[in-house]
Structure 1
Amino acid sequence: MGKDTFESFASSDLLRKHIALGEPTLSENERQGMWKAIERRTILRSRRSLRMWRWCAAASVFAIVVGSWLFSQACFQSDPYGKMTRLVNVDTLRHISLYLGEQQVELDGQIEVRCLAVTNQVEVKSVSGASFRLSATEQEETYLQLAVPAGIKAEVVLADGSRITVREQSKFSFPLCLAGEKRRVYLEGEAHMKIARNINKQFVTETRNMNVTVLGTEFLVSAYPKSSEQSVLLVSGKVEVEPLQGSRLVLSPNQRYVFNTTTQKSSLDSDVDPTLYTCWRENLLEIKDEPLGDVLKSIEAIYQTNFNYDWNELAQIRINGKLDVSVPLDELLDRLVRIAPIRLDGTRRKIILNNNR
């Protein structure tokens, strides 16, 4: 028992004895003095408790903030591309965007991004030859993302000399220096990849539904998030495909692996002509026995425009040929009329089936 508590009990006992013996009670001043002393003790204890509570609350908030930051850093290190891919929506993008750490740069026209590991920089070149450099912060590894809108493509040259052609409406994320045990990149969309050979360091392309592993080869990956068809086409060399659903398989040249995200089933086609799927790199739209409706959809996506036509009617017609999609739209449509039984109503942008052909 503490001294203060003992004195309080003693005072209370003495007070009861005075009352029991009928002795005079405390005066008004004495009572006020006694209650003020009690009040001071109570307030002092409350203030001490309040200060202690504030310190505990502040420490808890600090611990939560620090813990959240450490957790976010750990998540980023384990999955550096997850956060980057959520930064941008390619469907609403108007210009090519390059993300370098906290930096974001919007770029006009077709460009090439080259990784310079020695100087820890990125060089950006335009088709006209103009160029500039961006410097990365000094850290173990810097991650970048190139987001490409509709109607254009872009080139990436990695630190090892591998060349990546990123197709429209795609996001390609990659490390600046390729310092890890494996050369890991991430793709949402489509890209043609010509990988520098390195037998000591595998090159892994990660997508939502599969990983593609190579040592050095040329291949095409198509992994648009909104498409039910995800595919890998091998041009040369050898690749290993590891889908999230199903078993691994090794592709040979001119084989195309297709995974359907709706049915969760996969297929493998052999003796495929790679130019049918890679001609977009040369600004060509190669058409081999394709429905006319599908061809018009491709043209709409490339030129970011819309036509008025009956898709079901035109889907019954199949055409063949090549179209140069680098020319103005009116010129391309004039060429399309020569290989397809259609006529154009320019005022209403309407495409009509020509039954006389």
Structure 2
Amino acid sequence: MSISEGSVSISVNEWNPVMKSVKKLKERYQKILGGTASTMEQELIARWLKQLDIGEAMDKKALAEWQERSMTELQERAKPPVLVRSRTRKFIWLAGAAAVLLLGMVWLVKPYRDYSARSAQQVPAYIEHSTAAGQRKMLTLADGSRVWLGNASKIRYPENFQPDKRRIFLEGQAFFEVKPDSTRPFFVYTSGLDVKVLGTSFDVKHYPADAEPAVTVASGIVSVKPVHEGRGWMLEKGEQLTYRLLDKTATVEEVDLRVALSWKDGELIFRETPLEAIAVRLERWYGVEIQIASPSLQTKQMSLSVKNEPLQTVFGMLSEAGDFNFDIQKRKVTVWK
């Protein structure tokens, strides 16, 4: 069967393959949207999209917009062509229909690509670094500042700092050596404290389980304030602020910087420190779990210096000085009187 007008004719059998192809493409597209497409059908659609250089997965909003527009366009593009009179040449219907469909798909994809470009501009890329228990890491930021990341800690910051500020998000402990820049203050945010400097060196410690985060200044001046509060403190070299989350009070005192910052150089120094607090630091340092079975030992004040010693040696020294027993089974240490 054929349809003819003047010298131009098209066979229905010739048009059917195009219609079938469009119909299959539409069916596969709808299956993917409904989550029922087979692996082969997903691969076929993926090949189309790859040729059109889509690049990234769509979010729900963009996908819905694309679906609505593309279905309309596919329906319009799939209509049989209007026959026109021509004395010089015949239409190559299969090639023409395929070209129209391809152009339609390219036009349909363009709004999504524009949407993706706008989204990429609005949401800055972030870099994240983390350490496990018993691990430390030294990093150099894009502005030249350096960060010593402590055990079981994590930091996150924009790939490119903003023109008016530099921001770091911290969970755990880190020592910062900030490159001076009076036009771009340097911020460190934790879940409890916000720290602001222009160019100095300082330590921030706030693990999720910590009830008393602390900030220690090694050089320069550091501004510290609790999250969502207007009041704050200005700290100078040698000062340490300890903030109590429970009652929202703080203590500022002078400390021995060698003791407070020794971890940065691979050493732990304790001076008249409760065994319970020492145990917490040793857990992060060696990646173990420490259980103090005798409550009377938790508050026992002890002094200790640790640098590259095996865990067995460390507890050997502690048990001798503190007159207690200990047992190490794999990654678990038990202490009792």
Matched position secondary structure for 2:254: coil
Q: Measured at CA, do residues 240 and 70 of structure 1 come closer, stay the same or move farther in structure 2, by a change above 3 Å? A: farther
Q: 1:62 aligns with which of 58, 65, 73?
A: 65
Distance 2:122 2:321 in 1: 53
Measured after TM superposition, the shift of residue 247 of structure 1 is 0.9
Partner in structure 2 of residue 270 of structure 1: 253
Distance 1:315 1:249 in 2: 32
Letter in 1 for 2:65: F
Larger Rg: 1
Gaps of 5+ in 2: 1-29, 31-60, 69-110
1:252 corresponds to 2:252 = no
Measured after TM superposition, the shift of residue 77 of structure 1 is 4.1
CA contact (8 A) 1:293 1:311 kept: no
Q: 1:182 aligns with which of 151, 159, 165?
A: 165
Matched position secondary structure for 1:295: helix
Partner in structure 2 of residue 148 of structure 1: 131
Q: For residues 207-251 of structure 1, give each alpha carbon's deviation from its aligned partner in whole angstroms, at most 9, with x where no partner exists.
A: 223321111101011222332222221111011123222413321
Q: Measured at CA, do residues 345 and 272 of structure 1 come closer, stay the same or move farther in structure 2, by a change above 3 Å? A: closer
Partner in structure 2 of residue 209 of structure 1: 192
Q: 2:312 aligns with which of 313, 324, 330?
A: 330
Measured after TM superposition, the shift of residue 189 of structure 1 is 1.5
Q: For residues 120-173 of structure 1, give each alpha carbon's deviation from its aligned partner in whole angstroms, at most 9, with x where no partner exists.
A: xxxxxxxxxxxxxxxxxxxxxx42000111111111111222110111121111
RMSD over aligned CA atoms reads 3.4
Residue identity over aligned pairs, in percent, reads 24
Q: For residues 71-109 of structure 1, give each alpha carbon's deviation from its aligned partner in whole angstroms, at most 9, with x where no partner exists.
A: 99769946x5xxxxxxxxxxxxxxxxxxxxxxxxxxxxx
Distance 2:246 2:152 in 1: 21
Partner in structure 2 of residue 167 of structure 1: 150
Q: TM-score, normalised by structure 1?
A: 0.56
Distance 2:213 2:320 in 1: 33
Partner in structure 1 of residue 288 of structure 2: 305
Q: Measured at CA, do residues 312 and 272 of structure 1 come closer, stay the same or move farther in structure 2, by a change above 3 Å? A: same
Aligned length: 232
Distance 2:225 2:120 in 1: 23
Distance 1:198 1:311 in 2: 51
Distance 2:282 2:158 in 1: 33
Measured after TM superposition, the shift of residue 327 of structure 1 is 2.5
Distance 1:240 1:327 in 2: 37
Distance 2:265 2:229 in 1: 34
Matched position secondary structure for 1:269: strand
CA contact (8 A) 1:174 1:186 kept: yes
Structure number with higher relative contact order (C-alpha < 8 Å, ≥ 6 residues apart): 2
Partner in structure 2 of residue 21 of structure 1: none
Q: For residues 173-210 of structure 1, give each alpha carbon's deviation from its aligned partner in whole angstroms, at most 9, with x where no partner exists.
A: 12334353212221111111011112222111122233
1:261 corresponds to 2:264 = no
Gaps of 5+ in 1: 1-53, 81-141
CA contact (8 A) 2:155 2:170 kept: yes
Q: Measured at CA, do residues 352 and 59 of structure 1 come closer, stay the same or move farther in structure 2, by a change above 3 Å? A: closer
Q: Measured at CA, do residues 194 and 59 of structure 1 come closer, stay the same or move farther in structure 2, by a change above 3 Å? A: closer
User: Residues 4-153 of structure 1 correspond to what in structure 2 (within 5 A)?
Assistant: 61-62=64-65, 77=122, 142-153=125-136
Q: 2:179 aligns with which of 187, 192, 196?
A: 196
Q: Measured at CA, do residues 193 and 344 of structure 1 come closer, stay the same or move farther in structure 2, by a change above 3 Å? A: same
